[in-house]
Amino acid sequence: MKKAALITGLVVLALAWGGPLPGIAATSFTAHMIVHMSVVAFAAPLIAIGISGTRLDPSPRLPWLFSPLLAAMLEFAIVWGWHMPLLHIAARQSGPANIAEQASFLAGGLLLWLSCLNRAAGGAVGGALVGTLGLLLTSMHMTLLGALIAFANRPLYIRDGVPICGSDPATAVADQQLGGVIMLFAGGLVYLVGGLFLMARVVLAEPRREASS
């Protein structure tokens, strides 16, 4: 299962970064969001599942860094920071900025998922609950950001008085709203499901411990 998850995650990442979407994302917020969600909500968790507990897992060597709550805060800073107008416009129109954005999306996603999965795999109820909390907090802030973008009634990303996403304000707003909905459902839902899965492991583990004692 780990090998299949790792291969699938790498394929998703290759399609997200090597397909046509990155070129379209220069002028389309929806395309940008599909790439973003492909990286953090699909590739990152699959790759994390694939390498968690193996020799490729960096968390045993850096235990201080792989803390679910710290990782959740870093993920929050990365996602919200790159969607602030100044940084978002730079990433859409500058190759180095775009590389930095995408690299930070992947690094933040892997850090969070590895932190939460490994903490839950430790067997301690407290660790599993902290891992669950990290994913649920991320689900909430991605849902909030997606909602804020989806309900914005004006272009958020403007350069030299012209929206970068669409040839006119109405097109730009429609593009933003669709991208916000994608983030709201894809990002919010995947992290929510991950958090609930870890929570279910905690709940189901307790009866088994009691039955075996």
* pLDDT at position 134 over 70: yes
pLDDT value of residue 92: 87
To which residue do tokens 């067997």 refer?
123
* pLDDT at position 102 over 60: yes
CA distances in angstroms from 3 to 8, 52, 113, 122, listed in the order given = 9, 11, 17, 21
Partners of 163 in the beta sheet? 158
CA pair distance 6, 11, nearest whole angstrom = 9
For 9, other C-beta atoms within 10 Å of its C-beta total 22
- Tokens representing 132 are 């669950």
| Residue 125 burial by Cβ neighbours in a 10 Å radius (0-12, 13-18, 19+) | middle
206: confidence class by pLDDT, cuts 50, 70, 90: low
Instruction: Identify which of 195, 181, 179 has the alpha carbon closest to the alpha carbon of residue 139.
Output: 195
| Mean pLDDT calculated for residue range 65-78 | 93
State the Cα angle at 108 between 104 and 111, rounded to 5°: 140
Phi, psi (rounded to 5 degrees) for 162: -120, 130
CA distances in angstroms from 116 to 107, 194, 195, listed in the order given = 14, 9, 9
210: confidence class by pLDDT, cuts 50, 70, 90: very low
CA pair distance 103, 111, nearest whole angstrom = 12
